[in-house]
Each structure stands twice: as C-alpha cells, then as structure tokens.
Structure 1
Amino acid sequence: MRNISIINSFKRELFHLIHCAALAGTIVLLISLSGGLREPNATTFEAKEMLSSWKQYGFLLTAFLYIIRILTLLCLPMALFNFLGLVLFNAFPDQPKSKVYSGREHVTFPFVCFRVVTKGDFPQLVRNNILKNKQTCEESGLEHYTFEVVTDKSISLVTNENVRELVVPGDYATKSGALYKSRALQYCLEKDVNSLNDDDWIVHLDEETLLTNGCIKGIVNFICEGKHHFGQGVITYNNDQVVNLILTLCDSIRVADDMGKVQFQLKVMHMPIMGWKGSYVISNVGAERHVSFDHGPRGSVAEDAYFGLLAASKGYSFGFIEGDMWEKSPFTIADFLRQRKRWLQGLLLVVHSSEIPLRFRILLGCCVYATATAPLTALNVFLQPCFPIQISRFVDLSGCFIGGVIIYMNLYGTLRSYTYSVNHVGIGKLLLLTMLGFAVQPVKYSLEIIAILWGLVTPKNEFAIVDKNVLRNEISKFP
C-alpha cells in the first residue's frame, strides 16, 4: 500500500510539472505569435515608415484604440493570482480519504451544521439532496452534524435529530433591510432562532450541492487545525447528472479559478480579496454572527463577496479546504445569462460600498471593472490587427500573459474536472471533452458579454433564481 501511495504521489507531481510547462508554454506561444519576443529595437520596415497613429487614424479613433488596450491591464491582478495558484500548489492533488476519525476524536469534534437556503420552489430537489448528503456523511463517519434547510415556504421536510427545517416568517425584516438570501441567513443568526454554539461550524450549501467523502475529510481537517475562521474549497460541475454539456464545459474555467485565484488568496493572503463563492463556505458560528449578513440591499445581491470582504476587514482569517463538492451548471442559456448578470450587478454594489475599507475593495474592483469593460476590450481581437498602434511593450506582454492564462485555464478546468470525475472517462474521451471545452469558449464569452451589457443597463437590486431542478429537465446522454 505504501508503494502504491508513493507511486501515486510521484504521478501527481509529474502531472503538475507537465501542467506548469503547458501553462508557461501557452503564454510563451501567445507572446511569440504576437511578436512580443522580438528585440525592442527590432522593428519592421512597416513600423519604421508608419505615420504617427494619431495622424493616421485621427484623434477619436486613436484615443479609443489606446483606451481599450490599456483597459486590458485591469485583468492583470486576476491573471497573476490564477497563475500563482496554479503553479505554486499541486494542480492535481490527491483527494482526502473518506476515513475521518479515530473513536476518541468522534467525541471531541465540534458540531457541524450543513445549511441550505432556498425559496422553496424546488422541494423535491432539496429533499433528495438532503438524503444523498446524509448518506455521504454516514459513509464518511461523521456523527455530530445536522442539516438545516432555511426556506421562505415549507417544503414538508421530514425532520429529526439530523434534519431541521426553518421557515422564514413573511413579516421578518432585518435592522438594515437585508434582502433575498442575506435576509434568510440573518434570520438563522437571530438569538431566538439560532440553536448553535459559537464554537460550532456552519457549512453553507446551495440547493443542488452534493457532498463527497473527500470534501467531508477536508472540512474535518480544516476545523481540527483551528487556524482559520472561514474556508472554501473546489466545486466541480460535471458529476452526478449533466443536463447541459455545453454550459457545463463553459463553467470549467470556474474550476480552474478555484484552483488558481481562490486557492492562492486563501492559502497565501488568507482573505477572499478577489471574491469567493456563496457555497462550500465553512464558517465558525461565533465569527459569522459577529460579521452578520445584515448589510442592507447593497450587501444582498452578492452577499458572499460582501460578507467575505467585510469579515477580512474585521481581521478574520480564511483558509483553503481540500476535497471537491459537486454542483450543477445552469441548464438553459437564459439561466446562464441571469446568473452572470446577477454576479456582475452584485459585485458592482460590493466594490462601491463605503462600509468596506477601500484597501479591501481595490483588487476585487479591478476584477469587476475588467468584467464590466469586457465588451470593449474584446474588440481588441478585431481592431488590433486592422488598426495597429505603437504602445508600451509592458502593455503588449501583459496582454499576452493575460490571454495565455485565460486560454490555458479553459483547458485545465476541463482536465481537472474530468480527471476527478465520478463518471470515469478514458483518455480518448477526455481529450475529446477538452477540445470541445476549448471550442465552446467563443460561445461562452459571447454569452458573458451579453450578460454584462444586460447587467449594466438594468436595475442592480434584483436576485435571479436559477432553476437547477434536474427532475424537470432532460439529462444529457454525454456525461
């Protein structure tokens, strides 16, 4: 057994080295194709003879060309964080084992509450997933836990010592007027509702989130280490039942983002300085109650990012959790657009909130404005070849670095997802899925741009619910 473990460890280290070489190679290839590897003085005859861009194109067009080129630098912090996360930490880590405790540790381990917030529109989905997740907890050896479903309307959940249903009263209002999910989360923290002790822990899940033995082991390790108040791990989208393969592949970059940016900021900086997700969040109860979710409408659309930055500004520490959880990508293009629109609108509210100190909002602000200006910067793909301009070598190289990281993340995200997939695929099918994942990226970015434009011109205090009730949707035959 020890020899097998050593061999597996060696394989994962080898895969990581190949991965690092592929990432660097993608960046270098893009720089080479753009001419960025030329010596600074090795200009072509055409460049030497070229009239000043300002004279050649006119002031307005030239100014526009320079602006959209420089705006690409907003993506640089995000690309750098992703690069460092993907290089500094093993990109193909061994998943935690399902065996969790010795008998003595069973008695002393803190109590864990798995909390699901729902409007109650998909009761069967929630009930089914509670049953699946309870079974996973039992298989992993976890004993001191409960599942708590917080809902706007009853879903007729069968309650017992491990399952509790909380219906948020229709007339309940927080002090600041928090809305949507924030309102429900704050209701759970009220003194006459909360049943947890300050040294207990909450694991926040979405309606469709499925636990794995690996993530439970990761959660246990994280809590037992006692180093951080909050944590988050990797979510993949291709397990269980895949409803829309194309949109699932479009979400592969989110897996790479978890392994890159999220892992780096939580392991090195110990704060979600560029944002994090609202599920697979581990919280110490006392810390969560102190930070609270009662932050008015501005903190209610992207409540996860708002909560994370505010907690970091109060001095709380964050860590990264090993082990994957499973979720689903949107099933329809309309839901995909609504989801992305809400993210942008909510994050814009977060980065403009004066309640969070500016130094904690700057890097997230770069990410958000990089997203908001994507419809403009995307034009560089078409305008740069047609209207070349003389610009700083730093801007050129930075643009190639950003593009190389993003291109590689799409490839790696698919590989990482299916390498750990419960639906084991052969090397041929894995390569096919990877190529397909790369091929759908123009569709993904076109949809993202539509969602961005939609988000910029519509009210920003709306909270769209994405339908992930697999029982009402046709399941893809291709996992």
Structure 2
Amino acid sequence: MSYAFQKTAGETEERTNIGNTKAVMALLSEMWIINLIFLMGAIYMMTFYLGKLQSYDDYELWNIACYWKIGWLLPLPYTMICLFGLILPYRTPKFLDYAREGIKKRRLDNLYIVTVTKGDNREAVYRAWQAHKHLESFHSSIRVHVLTDEPYFFEGINCYTCPKAFSTGNSKYKARALEWYRQTMKFTEHDWILHLDEESVIDDESVKRVLEFIWYEKDYHFGQGVILYNQYKYWSNWIFTVADAIRVGDDLSRFHLQYTYFHRPIFGAHGSFLLNNGLVENAVTWDLGSLTEDYQFAMKAWDRGFRCGKICALVREQSPMDVIGFMKQRRRWFVGIRRLPNFLPKLWAFFWGLGIFSLYCTIASVPLGFVYPNVTPRWFGFLKDVSFVTFVYLYLVGVFIQDIDKGVNPIIVFLRIPLTIVVQYICVVMEGCAVMYGILFPPADFDVIKK
C-alpha cells in the first residue's frame, strides 16, 4: 500500500515525532513470549530459590504475621489482569495483511487530527504543530487542527478557538471545547477524529496504521494504541520518567487486553490518542460533567453499543515537570474515576485506593517482623511474588520499550534496568501519596498541569 508524502514548503525545524515505530511494533510482535519466560522464571526464582531468604515455610499455613502481610496481596487483582495482558499475543502489523485478505475499504471523508489545548502552553502547541503540519499532504482526507479556548489563538496554523459565549449543559474546559468543535465541524459517520493532547505527537508510520484501522477494522467504532512518554525531555528527571513507565506498561498489558480481546472499554480510555468515528461523537457528545471526560465518554459509548479496537500505532507524549503537577494529575484521575456513576470505574478506583493500604502494610511489616519473627507460608509468598514481580516488570517493560523507540545505546538500556527497579519504589510512594491527596483534598475543578 502506498501513501503520498511531500515535505511542507519551508519546513526546516526539527520535528519531535521521530521514533522507531516499526522496530517497536516488530519487537511487540514477539514480546509476549519474552514476557512469559521472564515473568514465570522470576516468580519461580522468588518463590522457590529465594524462598528460604524470605523465610517461606511449607508446613505452616497461617500465623499472626499474615494479618498485616495480607496487605501484600491487595494489588493482586490489578497485577493478575496485567499478567494476562503481558503474556497474551500482542496485535501488531505482523499479523495484519488487509490486501491479501481482500477487505473492501470503509468510506473515509475526513480524518481530523486535533490537538486540544487550553492555549497557554504555547511552546508545546508549536512543537505539536511542527510535528503534524506535513500530514495534510500525506493523504487527502487528513485535516490537522489545533483546538483552543478563547482568548488563545495561534496565528499561522489551523487554529479553531472555542468562544467564551458557547455553553453546554454540563461540560467545562476541554470537554466544552470538544463539544463546540463537534457541533462546528458537523461530523458524519464517514468522518473520524483523532484526539491528541497538546504535548502529544504522532509519526507518519502511526498515521498509516490509523488509516488502516479506519478503512479495514469495520467492527470497531473507536480505538486506541500505545502512548509513550519519551517525546520531550525524556530522562531529564529520572523519577517522573520511571513513574510514567508504568503507564506504558499499562498500555502493553491491561489496555492491550481490553482493545485486542474484549473490545469493550472495561478499563476506560485515555483522552489522548483516542480515535472516534463521527457517529460515536454525535451519539455520545462531549456534554459531560466529569473530571475524567475521556473515561466517561468511553463508558457512554459502550452503553450505546459501540465497540473498540487496538490501533497498531504509537503516540509520544511527555511526563509532568514537577511534583505538584504529578500529584494534581494523579489526584484528578483517581477522584474523577471514582465519581463516575458506572460500577466498573468505582471498582477500579477502589482497587487503586487499596494500594495505599498495601503500601502501609509493607512499611509496617519491617518493624513488626522484628517483634513477631514468624515465617511466611509458601502459598502466601507465592501470591505475593506473583504480584510483586508483575508490578516491577510493568515499570521495566515501560522503560525498555521507550528506550528502544528512542534508539538509546544498548549499554545504557541495560544499565537503566537496575536504576528503574530502585527509582520505582519512590514512584510507588508518590502514587500512594497522590491517592491520599485525592481522598483528603479532592479537586474542586479541573487542574491543568505544566508540561
């Protein structure tokens, strides 16, 4: 399949959407085998070869120490879901050959690539525009737009600005602007909208995969791919880089399971790299009253019978720049998901909140271990090891895939593995503190963080 591509006249600035998408997808085609071998091997080593070091016992089934050690098992529902996602085959272009299968293309009139921004982070907006402005010459259906709120308007780019006078019943900020944009553009079932945040960039290879999803994946009305956090200032701050690595691990496990096998947004959706058919947007609308409008949108789309699928593509973003931004971001996610009326969001928020108790129990087990020096039943230790190994691996695989995408020197890639294992403990504490922050001081409104 061929695609026309011409460089935009006068384009000399460096683009930030350059990566190794093909290499990453080729690796992910076989990654489930690597995941299976590593995870099963590490769990076996932890439980049996290192069992004596951890005071595991095959004869005692329960003791007083198990009461506080039970906190070790609280993340098990989350980690088991991720474990299955990691060891099931990943959907990549290797397994897709639409030309050979003779599938007729679905009609496509317009593909709107929309960068949504409040507008005050001008540097990020221009980086995104520089990365995407050439895409309109890539295929005749593509329209590259930037969507802002008044009073922000960017000269010299395809900028659409939501006026202050526009109002909806429930939505604010980003959702309000998206609702204005939906009504202004008058989407049809032959239009598709690719939503990107202001710091998000997509490369040419991924746009090909988005087009193929639209043309050939006729069973699905919206979809997502993998989001990496290596677009800008990658590893400039070790803590935030490692903290966001678990989000990559999430995409490669939990969300991979959702989009490849379930085709229902049981775990929600990301607001960026969200590809919607115009029919879905018109049925659901963005007139939503939530701190997590992306999750709410996905739930409503599911309620209306729409199905989702995996896009074999990457989008690159960047991590928060400071602790305050990180805490506010996680707090908004936790509180926003917990407030949604559906059962599943409340269930996932509940499991997320259990992480606090797991953290407390882990810390408490150190001094209590000296007071009550009991052994740990091996069956109990096995379940703990399954959870622990999977959780650490989510960070490791997230960093590893992002390094491969950036073309990092192989020596540096492997040196970062032990570094990630150490730093992720700090990240876990920060995640727990962010949840506590949300419980004690829930946000009154939408927080826009600096990136």
Q: Could you say what the CA RMSD is over the residues aligned between the two structures, in angstroms?
A: 3.4
Q: Establish whether residue 372 from structure 1 lines up as the match of residue 388 from structure 2.
A: no
Cα distance 1:368–1:398, how it changes in 2: closer, same or farther (>3 A)? farther
* Partner of residue 413 from structure 1, selected from 378, 398, 418: 398
Consecutive unaligned residues of structure 2, counting only runs of 5 or more, are 1-22
Residue equivalent to 1:88: 88
Question: What CA distance in whole angstroms lies between the structure 2 residues aligned with 1:8 and 1:400?
Answer: 29
Question: What CA distance in whole angstroms lies between the structure 1 residues aligned with 2:25 and 2:227?
Answer: 22
Residue equivalent to 1:173: 167
* Partner of residue 319 from structure 1, selected from 293, 309, 313: 309
* Partner of residue 381 from structure 1, selected from 362, 372, 384: 362
Residue equivalent to 2:337: 347
Give the match's secondary structure for 2:261: helix
Residue equivalent to 2:205: 214
| Shift of residue 230, structure 1, vs aligned partner | 0.7
Contact 2:72 2:361 in 1 (8 A): no
* Partner of residue 189 from structure 2, selected from 168, 191, 198: 198
Contact 2:73 2:358 in 1 (8 A): no
1:109-161 CA distance string (max 9 Å, x none): 431001222211123421331132122554xx3331112322122443346xx
* Partner of residue 423 from structure 2, selected from 440, 457, 463: 440
Map of 1:146-165 to 2, 5 A cutoff? 146-158=143-155, 164-165=158-159
1:409-433 CA distance string (max 9 Å, x none): 1111111111122xx2222111112
Cα distance 1:171–1:406, how it changes in 2: closer, same or farther (>3 A)? same
Contact 1:74 1:369 in 2 (8 A): no
Contact 1:244 1:332 in 2 (8 A): no
- TM-score, normalised to structure 1, is 0.77
| Shift of residue 207, structure 1, vs aligned partner | 0.3
* Partner of residue 269 from structure 1, selected from 262, 282, 285: 262
Give the match's secondary structure for 1:251: helix
Q: Establish whether residue 259 from structure 1 lines up as the match of residue 244 from structure 2.
A: no
Residue equivalent to 1:77: 77
Cα distance 1:96–1:182, how it changes in 2: closer, same or farther (>3 A)? farther
Cα distance 1:198–1:12, how it changes in 2: closer, same or farther (>3 A)? closer
Give the match's secondary structure for 1:186: helix
Cα distance 1:436–1:154, how it changes in 2: closer, same or farther (>3 A)? same
Question: What CA distance in whole angstroms lies between the structure 1 residues aligned with 2:87 and 2:355?
Answer: 26
- TM-score, normalised to structure 2, is 0.82
Contact 1:113 1:145 in 2 (8 A): yes
Residue equivalent to 2:385: 400
Question: What CA distance in whole angstroms lies between the structure 2 residues aligned with 1:128 and 1:179?
Answer: 25
Residue equivalent to 2:116: 117
| Shift of residue 218, structure 1, vs aligned partner | 1.6
| Shift of residue 21, structure 1, vs aligned partner | 0.7
| Shift of residue 441, structure 1, vs aligned partner | 0.7
1:167-209 CA distance string (max 9 Å, x none): 222233212x22222222222223xx23432320000000011
Contact 1:302 1:346 in 2 (8 A): yes
Residue equivalent to 1:301: 291
Residue equivalent to 1:328: 318
Question: What CA distance in whole angstroms lies between the structure 2 residues aligned with 1:23 and 1:444?
Answer: 21
Letter in 2 for 1:413: G
Letter in 2 for 1:463: F
Cα distance 1:271–1:394, how it changes in 2: closer, same or farther (>3 A)? farther
Question: What CA distance in whole angstroms lies between the structure 2 residues aligned with 1:35 and 1:182?
Answer: 54
Give the match's secondary structure for 1:42: coil
Give the match's secondary structure for 1:440: helix
Cα distance 1:454–1:196, how it changes in 2: closer, same or farther (>3 A)? same
Cα distance 1:399–1:167, how it changes in 2: closer, same or farther (>3 A)? same
Cα distance 1:367–1:69, how it changes in 2: closer, same or farther (>3 A)? farther
Letter in 1 for 2:127: N
Question: What CA distance in whole angstroms lies between the structure 1 residues aligned with 2:177 and 2:159?
Answer: 12
Letter in 2 for 1:179: K
Question: What CA distance in whole angstroms lies between the structure 1 residues aligned with 2:105 and 2:122?
Answer: 32
Letter in 2 for 1:229: H
Residue equivalent to 1:183: 176
Cα distance 1:394–1:136, how it changes in 2: closer, same or farther (>3 A)? farther
Q: Establish whether residue 282 from structure 1 lines up as the match of residue 275 from structure 2.
A: yes
Question: What CA distance in whole angstroms lies between the structure 1 residues aligned with 2:383 and 2:270?
Answer: 27
Question: What CA distance in whole angstroms lies between the structure 2 residues aligned with 1:325 and 1:8?
Answer: 12
Cα distance 1:137–1:248, how it changes in 2: closer, same or farther (>3 A)? farther
Cα distance 1:69–1:320, how it changes in 2: closer, same or farther (>3 A)? farther
1:43-85 CA distance string (max 9 Å, x none): 39xx8xxxx73xxxxxxxx8xx74x655665533322221122
Question: What CA distance in whole angstroms lies between the structure 2 residues aligned with 1:8 and 1:122?
Answer: 30
| Shift of residue 12, structure 1, vs aligned partner | 6.8
Give the match's secondary structure for 1:465: coil
Residue equivalent to 1:57: none
Cα distance 1:203–1:401, how it changes in 2: closer, same or farther (>3 A)? same
Consecutive unaligned residues of structure 1, counting only runs of 5 or more, are 1-6, 54-61, 469-479
| Shift of residue 396, structure 1, vs aligned partner | 4.9
Contact 2:325 2:449 in 1 (8 A): yes
Question: What CA distance in whole angstroms lies between the structure 2 residues aligned with 1:238 and 1:167?
Answer: 28
Question: What CA distance in whole angstroms lies between the structure 2 residues aligned with 1:19 and 1:41?
Answer: 28
Map of 1:10-49 to 2, 5 A cutoff? 16-32=32-48, 33=50, 42-43=59-60
Question: What CA distance in whole angstroms lies between the structure 2 residues aligned with 1:261 and 1:36?
Answer: 32
Q: Establish whether residue 230 from structure 1 lines up as the match of residue 227 from structure 2.
A: no
Question: What CA distance in whole angstroms lies between the structure 1 residues aligned with 2:172 and 2:26?
Answer: 50
Residue equivalent to 2:130: 131
Letter in 2 for 1:196: F
Letter in 2 for 1:123: R
| Shift of residue 366, structure 1, vs aligned partner | 3.5
1:296-319 CA distance string (max 9 Å, x none): 3xxx20111111122112211000
Question: What CA distance in whole angstroms lies between the structure 2 residues aligned with 1:294 and 1:8?
Answer: 37
Letter in 2 for 1:322: C
Letter in 2 for 1:112: L
Question: What CA distance in whole angstroms lies between the structure 2 residues aligned with 1:172 and 1:166?
Answer: 13
Cα distance 1:405–1:365, how it changes in 2: closer, same or farther (>3 A)? farther
Question: What CA distance in whole angstroms lies between the structure 2 residues aligned with 1:234 and 1:8?
Answer: 11
